[in-house]
Amino acid sequence: MQTFFQTLTTGLSDGAIFGSLALALVLIYKATEVINFAQGEMAMFTTYIAWALMGHGSTFHWWAFFATLGIAFGGGALLQQTVIRPLERASVLTAVMATIALLVILNGLAAWIWSPQLQFFPSPFPTSSWVVGGVHISKQDVGTFGVVMACVLVLWLFFRFTKLGLAMRAGALNPDAARLMGVRTSWLLALGWGFAAALGAVSGMMVAPTVFLTPNMMQAILIYAFAAAVLGGLESPVGAVVGGLGLGVLLNMLGQYVHPVTSELRLPVALGLLLVVLLIRPAGLFGRVVVRRV
């Protein structure tokens, strides 16, 4: 029983990371139908910036955390305006290719600026545990989960209760109609990229203490995030977060209780599962089936 709860908390903490990156993917996908393959590298790159701000990773500073969110936000918005916006009239595939180019560029740039070596990234949370009824609950896990979920909550409040958030939702649903109401959709798309980049930065800074900082740090995580987003239906922000949490828990449970599932098998198992779900429910767990007229 103790192992079960420990595995559960670690699973939720991993899952929060997958879920927040998945949410970032969904935000951009809903607004523009573009799958942003650079989402993981954007997160990695901003995590390096945080690392640099924290005196090359000597101690964690919350001010650096928030400064990084701001930088990520600005960088995401800037990328949208300079790279994605000019491709607005091209096909979606062109924009997707552009994000793949960004992936490669950011990866190379990070290795060039900061070297490809493993770096230590400090954690804001102590490595100790709370012991509740014989169960060891890692403060690191709880902290990670808490920070990520707090960010998701803030974002949800923004979309649900502010005029700007409403306009972003309306613009995603029907951009032409939104423009007729005076909505400057192009700016709102930049804002959306900014939010997605900031969310990615959160996941990057939260995962870096456990996986070490390298230019390739986010690549496997991005695949888990894709899986989570698709599981959730790709259109559903709630689905992305739930998908991420579910995937995190599941992977940790499999690793704990099913013996052949070693760390090498985690990714194949996750994607195998994704295939099974999609074969049964093509629209994902939270998605709507899109009926196309032929």
Partner 1 sequence: MGALLELSDVRARYGQVAALHGVSLTVEEGEVVSLLGANGAGKTTTLRSVSGTVRRTGDVVLAGKRLGRASPEAVARAGVAHVPEGRGIFAELTVWENLRMGAYTVRRPDFASVQSYFPWLQDRRNQQAGTLSGGEQQMLALARAFLSRPRLLMLDEPSLGLAPLVTREVFRVVSELNQKEGVAVLVVEQNAAVALAAAQRGYVLETGEIVLSGTADELKSNDAVRSAYLGY
- Structure-block tokens of residue 273: 């599962």
Cα distance between residue 49 and residue 1, in whole Å: 41
Answer for the pair 141, 10: CB distance below 8 angstroms, yes or no.
yes
User: Which residue, 136 or 169, is less far from partner 1 as judged by CB?
Assistant: 169
Q: Please give the span between the terminal C-alpha atoms of the chain, in angstroms, as a whole number.
A: 54
Cα distance between residue 281 and residue 294, in whole Å: 21
User: Which residue, 174 or 262, is less far from partner 1 as judged by CB?
Assistant: 174
Binding residues for partner 1 (CB under 8 A): 163, 166-167, 169-170, 173-174, 176-185
User: Which residue, 56 or 288, is less far from partner 1 as judged by CB?
Assistant: 288
User: Which residue, 56 or 184, is less far from partner 1 as judged by CB?
Assistant: 184
Find the shortest distance in angstroms from Cβ 238 to partner 1: 14
Cα distance between residue 208 and residue 184, in whole Å: 36
Encode 5-33: b = buried (16+ Cβ within 10 Å), e = exposed.
ebbbbbbbbbbbbbbbbbbbbbbbbbbbe
Find the shortest distance in angstroms from Cβ 173 to partner 1: 5
User: Which residue, 171 or 194, is less far from partner 1 as judged by CB?
Assistant: 171
